[in-house]
Amino acid sequence: MSKKETIIVQGTEVILLSHHKEDYISLTDIAKYRDRENPSQIISLWLRTYSTIEYLGLWETLNNSNFNPHIYEGFKNESAKPHFWMSPQKWINETNAIGITN
C-alpha cells in the first residue's frame, strides 16, 4: 500500500511517498525551487556530477542485485569530463537502476 503526503519546504510543495515500507522524495519537486518552469534541467545538471554518480552507484550496488556495475564505471569515469550529460531515463535504462524512478 502506498501513502502519499506533501510537505512545504521554503515555500515549495514536496511530495513524500511511502511504498512497501520504502520512503521516496520527489527530486522534481525539490528542483522546482530553483527552476519552476524546467526542473528536469536542474536534475540533469545534478546527475552529471562525479559525486552524484558515485553516490548513486554505491546505493545501487548495495540495494540492487540487477545493477550493471560495468556501465556505472563508464559513467563514473565520463562524469569527470566537461561534455558528460546524464538524465534519469538514461541512468535507469542503462544501469538497471531502481533508486530513481520516472
Q: Residue 34, SS3?
A: coil
**What letter represents residue 44's amino acid?**
S
pLDDT tens readout for residues 37-48: 999 999 999 999
Per domain, the residue ranges of the chain are 1-36, 48-102
pLDDT tens readout for residues 15-42: 888 877 888 888 899 999 899 899 999 9
pTM: 0.80
Contacts of 81 (CB under 8 A, 6+ apart): none
Q: Residue 22, SS3?
A: strand
Contact between residue 79 and residue 90 where contact means Cβ atoms under 8 Å apart: no
Which three cell numbers, joined as nine digits, stand for 13?
510543495
Distance of CA 52 to the CA centre of its chain: 9
